[in-house]
Structure 1
Amino acid sequence: MVLPTSQIPPQPPTSAPAPPSAQLLAPDTTNRPPHQQGKQTVFAWAPTWRQVAFGVLLLFCLTPWASPPVALALGLLLAQTVGNPFASHIKSLTPKLLQFSVIGLGFGMNAHVAVQAGQQGLLFTVASIGGTLLLGYFVGRWLGLSRHVVYLISCGTAICGGSAIAAVGPVLRANDEAMSVSLATVFVLNVIALFTFPPIGHALHLTQHQFGLWCAIAIHDTSSVVGAAAAYGNEALQVATTVKLARALWIIPVSVGSALLFKQKGMKIKIPYFILGFVGAMLVNTFVPAAKPLGPVLVGLAKIGLTVTLFFIGAALSGRVLKSVGSRPYVLGVVLWIVVSAGSLYVILRAG
């Protein structure tokens, strides 16, 4: 039934719609989580205090006052207290930043010096890789660890830490647990080495060349090798970086051998192509005089990138990650690390 116009009940007055400009300026809080209701925003983004803390520490790492060990310590402090609010974002960024930083360091190195250093470190490399893998096999069996965990930790100790584990793991078809345990083990030892190696080197009065060679052999990851050597001196940095990257090339034959040993067919080998970029940068710095003025700038940026990389690595080592490993993988890692460190140091000191 249709009511006459006079009998239709009056409707409450409605406010006129806001003009388009007012709608654009008004903050939209309808879709925010409850804990962000009423929070002030910056360019439509409401940063949490954890994100602010991360940003402040990151900015400090870009300053001349932040050395690689300091940056790593700040990252660890963040991870163990408030936590890393950008863990998922920096996980993929960290290896790329490290690779570009290593390439940048090549613009401060001389190819003739690098070849000499690489030749001297070749014998140490071959002997230490074979010995570490063999020792890891027997210690791992004694500890009752799975063969994948044993092999990954041994490869990480023998060659170049996380990069070797990331390359060899898929070849073995290792599961996520084995990969995580192995990576966490070598990362913890990297942290210890970065802080302890420079004081030990000074206490033993190691030369720049001796310390650089020792770092390249006894410290797992390239980032910690470069960080410790940079804290010791420029010559140590050149020797350590060159020998470590030459050592990293052993990822290729070790990966091939791993595929044969574990009877894995059709697996792709992950080649560290950034080493070619480092060699190219070193050749440009040595043989292209026009590039000389650019070298110090690129090296400076590379050192900043390395510092930020170590901050990211420290921020990724949360207490949960450290506790999830258990004691036996740490025992294996420590035993291998002590044997390699002490053995290589003895040979270096005897060689003079």
Structure 2
Amino acid sequence: MIVLPEVPRRAPARATGLGAAVALGLAATVAGTLVPVVGAPVFAVVAGLLLSPLARRRSAALEPGLGLARGVLLQVSVVLLGARLSLGEVLSVGADSLPVMLGTLGVCLLAAWWVGRRLGVTRDLRTLIGVGTAICGVSAIAATTPAIRARSHDVAYAISTIFLFNVAAVLAFPPLGHALGLSPQEFGLFAGTAVNDTSSVVAAAGAYDQDTVGYAVVVKLARTLMIIPVVLVLTALTRRRADLPATSRARLAASLVPWFLVAFLVVAALNTGGLIPATAQAALQQVALLLVAVALAAVGLGTDVPALRRAGARPLLLGLVLWVVVGTTSLGLQHLLTR
């Protein structure tokens, strides 16, 4: 079967949504340059949200391109951020952040179980919100969904809840960090362990200080790896009565390692070997930040704002509690470990 003729049909379908996201991303980048205290990522996501009712009227035409922007383009931006890091720095940051990362992960999952039960949130929904908050937002929800065989409306509620607090983190965490007098590294650890989604981590770190972005991304990528043990445990609990061969578990673990994490490490290795010139590093950094703005514009445009209202108060309240718990745990552990 010849598959090449399908490409021209897909390209125009993606061009409309991708073009809209790129236009908003470019405008947000200009606005972020003029008002750096706000930053391009915030302008992008807010503009996308404001225009989302119009975008949803043409969702069939826009969604293929928006999905590409908030998926592949965001992942490429993370890979490009590796051009300014060395492997020694990656290993050092990952090791230094491990106590805070594991602490926030454990506290969040326990709080999701206990608070969710008290609020009467269903088991699958509280699990999805818990892993989304504790690990990496929508990516963790997507990885967990087949493991626990979650229903589609629970997934939609969880994603809506997680997204709301992603936006809240981008808007609230940078001023909070300045009020607390956090250094760029301290805020990078805070953002990397307390913000849900990769795009929001980059957005919050970029709005705080450009020197914070690389550190926050490394912490977030290390945190993303926690998907593997958590999903494997959830899979074992859900299928404990089924006969799942060990080889299937191994393939499942391998499939959960994000490709962009591997590519990020490869780019960092090239930089460690001196193969990426300093001028190229600066250019790649700017391209990466532009792609982040485009991805966040796509996230905003593709958001079903009414779905946030339909999710009801209890899942949102659980998301709020977990958001506060993770943030305070991250700051508290940093304070205790640096005394």
TM range, smaller chain:
0.7 to 0.9
Counting matched residue pairs gives 307
Aligned to 2:8: none
Aligned to 1:60: 27
Deviation at 1:282, TM superposition (A): 1.1
Residues 122 and 54 from structure 1, CA distance in 2 versus in 1: closer, same or farther, beyond 3 angstroms?
closer
Structural RMSD (CA): 2.6
Mapped contact 1:152–1:179 kept (Cα < 8 A): yes
Q: Which amino acid aligns with 1:348?
A: Q
Aligned to 2:120: 144
Mapped contact 1:84–1:315 kept (Cα < 8 A): no
Q: Which amino acid aligns with 1:281?
A: V
Deviation at 1:129, TM superposition (A): 1.3
Deviation at 1:58, TM superposition (A): 4.6
278-287 vs 86-95, greater mean Cα deviation: 86-95
Mapped contact 2:109–2:130 kept (Cα < 8 A): yes
**Separation in 2 of the partners of 1:111 and 1:53?**
36
Residues 55 and 289 from structure 1, CA distance in 2 versus in 1: closer, same or farther, beyond 3 angstroms?
closer
**Separation in 1 of the partners of 2:337 and 2:168?**
26
Residues 216 and 84 from structure 1, CA distance in 2 versus in 1: closer, same or farther, beyond 3 angstroms?
farther
313-322 vs 300-309, greater mean Cα deviation: 313-322
Aligned to 1:69: 42
Q: Which has the higher contact order (CA 8 A, sep 6+)?
A: 2
**Separation in 1 of the partners of 2:180 and 2:66?**
37
Mapped contact 2:21–2:294 kept (Cα < 8 A): no
Of 207, 232, 254, which aligns to 1:231? 207
Q: Counterpart of 2:196 in 1: which secondary structure? A: coil
**Separation in 2 of the partners of 1:67 and 1:335?**
28
Aligned to 2:107: 131
Alignment of 1:85-100 (within 5 A): 85=58, 86-93=61-68, 94-100=70-76
Unaligned residue ranges in structure 2 (runs of 5+)? 1-15, 34-38
**Separation in 2 of the partners of 1:325 and 1:277?**
36
340-349 vs 237-246, greater mean Cα deviation: 340-349
Does 2:261 correspond to 1:280?
A: no
Of 329, 332, 341, which aligns to 2:315? 329
- Superimposed CA distance per residue, residues 282-303 of structure 1 (whole angstroms, 9 cap, x where no aligned partner): 1111213454442222221111
Larger of the two Rg values belongs to structure: 1
**Separation in 1 of the partners of 2:335 and 2:222?**
22
Deviation at 1:342, TM superposition (A): 1.2
**Separation in 2 of the partners of 1:275 and 1:338?**
28
Deviation at 1:231, TM superposition (A): 1.5
Does 2:129 correspond to 1:153?
A: yes
139-148 vs 191-200, greater mean Cα deviation: 139-148
Unaligned residue ranges in structure 1 (runs of 5+)? 1-47
Q: Which amino acid aligns with 2:75?
A: Q
Aligned to 1:307: 293
- Superimposed CA distance per residue, residues 222-270 of structure 1 (whole angstroms, 9 cap, x where no aligned partner): 1100111112223321211101100101111111111012226557453
Of 303, 312, 320, which aligns to 1:317? 303
Aligned to 2:138: 162
* TM-score between both structures, scaled by the size of structure 1: 0.80
Aligned to 2:3: none
Percent identity over paired residues:
35
Deviation at 1:318, TM superposition (A): 2.7
Deviation at 1:205, TM superposition (A): 0.8
* TM-score between both structures, scaled by the size of structure 2: 0.83
Mapped contact 1:285–1:292 kept (Cα < 8 A): no
Q: Counterpart of 1:159 in 2: which secondary structure? A: helix
Mapped contact 1:184–1:322 kept (Cα < 8 A): yes
